[in-house]
Amino acid sequence: MESLITANIRSRPTRTLISVLAVALGIILMLIVGGIATGTLNDYLQRTRMVGADFILQPSGSTVFYAFSGASLPIKLVDKLLEVPGIRAAVPVLAKFNSSDFGLVFGVDLEKYNRLSGRLKVVEGKESLQADEVIVDELFAKSHQLSPGMKLTLLNHTFTVSAICRVGSVVRVFVSLGTLQELNGTPDKVTAIFIQADKGDLSLAYERLRVAFPGFAIIRTSDASLLLQDTSMPGFKEFLLTVILVSTLLSFMVILLAMYTTIFERTREIGILKSLGASRWFIVGMILKESVIICGFGVLFGAGASAVIRKAIIAAFPTMQVSMSARDLLFACAMGLGSGTLGAIYPAYKAARQDPVTALSYE
């Protein structure tokens, strides 16, 4: 049977190649698009935790992805937060989405921000955020070829790079809080307030904050699962599910059409096999094995191409994170093989039911 299957594949190289490429495209779509989404999420959550805040105060229904949040939090809440027992520091931040760079800019009071354990660690330049100064992290500086003293245009405003900090801050660009409030037209508003509690029972501090600020979202940063639990991510899970479904459907439809067409082309061959005593299960197995081989080549090519594309993306865009774990690879490969095999079931069933006399008379 094996020689018959490989002969069938070799006899139709163009169709086989197209099928392999289509399955590979589904794998690439799943791994790269899904990898960018999950990689960006995981990187952002990790950097949020590295700020050193125990909690984040935001308006109710806000998300930890500040691009989806406006500047609607009164800055006067900082003083009220410091009145809560067990709260050591409250640091207001204003987040602004920079469409030209597709990233976030944070407006902070540098002195207050550096009270957090995740303070900005300057590796080059001076630690200063005056009105028109900006601090960027090493990856941002590398991707934009920046050094202290150079000019950088953000939000239609020209800043001077005062320093470069280590990677690990929640965002990659920092400007003065007052300057960003002025540019945003919100002088007394911020996006969020980072809160640091005294050492001890954080659950007690969390309950005190919930009682003191019932109309606000209190986001815990102690671990990623709590961050995901306390915040809302509009459409994120639906987006990942859509990517998986589209990738799976692509492999399914390609194999279904390829094998269905193959059945018509090989009607006489199938009739000869059945007249020689081939059972229905033999025919089904032959069709399914052929589809598995095609899907297998597609999966291998897709996985290899995805790894190359991932490295190319990271090299071209150092600030972009593309997650691709062994688990992701196994899942994508399983979905590619599974959907392709399912797509071959109906053609295999149709081939097995053919009448040998009718098949032999087929022209």
Q: What does 122-156 look like in DSSP terms, one character per residue?
A: EEEE-----TTEEEEEHHHHHHHT--TT-EEEETT
Q: Supply the angle between the helices 280-316 and 13-28 in degrees, to the nearest 10.
A: 50
Q: Please name the residue that has the structure tokens 């990271």.
A: 314
- Listed residue (113, 115, 131) closest to 170, CA to CA: 113
Partner residues linked to 98 by β-bridges? 103
pLDDT of 175 > 90? The answer is yes
When mean pLDDT is compared across 217-221, 258-262, 356-360, the lowest value belongs to 356-360
C-beta of residue 110 within 8 angstroms of C-beta of residue 128: yes
Task: Give 134's pLDDT tier (boundaries 50, 70, 90).
Answer: very high
- Listed residue (278, 298, 274) closest to 358, CA to CA: 274
How high is the pLDDT of residue 309? 94
How high is the pLDDT of residue 46? 75
- How many H helices and E strands in the chain? 14, 12
The whole-number average pLDDT for the span 308-320 is 84
How high is the pLDDT of residue 284? 77
β-pairing, 103-108 vs 173-176, is parallel
- Listed residue (176, 61, 58) closest to 113, CA to CA: 176
Torsion, Cα 19 311 43 25, to 10 degrees, reads -10
pLDDT of 259 > 60? The answer is yes
Joined tokens for residue 111: 């002195």
pLDDT in tens, 186-207: 888 898 899 998 887 788 888 9
Half-sphere exposure of 113 (CA within 13 A, CB side): 25
The residue ranges of every structural domain in the chain are 2-42+236-360, 52-220
Q: Which residues contact 183 (CB under 8 A, 6 or more apart)?
A: 96, 155, 157
C-beta of residue 64 within 8 angstroms of C-beta of residue 42: no
Joined tokens for residue 91: 């640091």
How high is the pLDDT of residue 209? 92
* Amino acid residing at 325: S
How high is the pLDDT of residue 203? 87
Q: What is the pTM of this model?
A: 0.69
C-beta of residue 227 within 8 angstroms of C-beta of residue 221: yes
The distance of Cα 212 from the centroid of its chain, to the nearest Å, equals 35
Give the chain's radius of gyration (CA, Å).
Answer: 29
pLDDT in tens, 271-308: 677 666 767 777 777 778 888 888 889 899 999 999 99
The enclosing H or E element of 219 equals: strand 216-220
Q: Which residues contact 214 (CB under 8 A, 6 or more apart)?
A: none
The enclosing H or E element of 265 equals: helix 236-265
In the three-class reduction of DSSP (H, G, I as helix; E, B as strand; rest coil), residue 52 is classed as: coil
pLDDT in tens, 4-33: 556 666 667 777 888 888 888 888 988 998
pLDDT in tens, 336-353: 888 888 887 877 777 767
DSSP tag of 231:
S
* Amino acid residing at 87: I
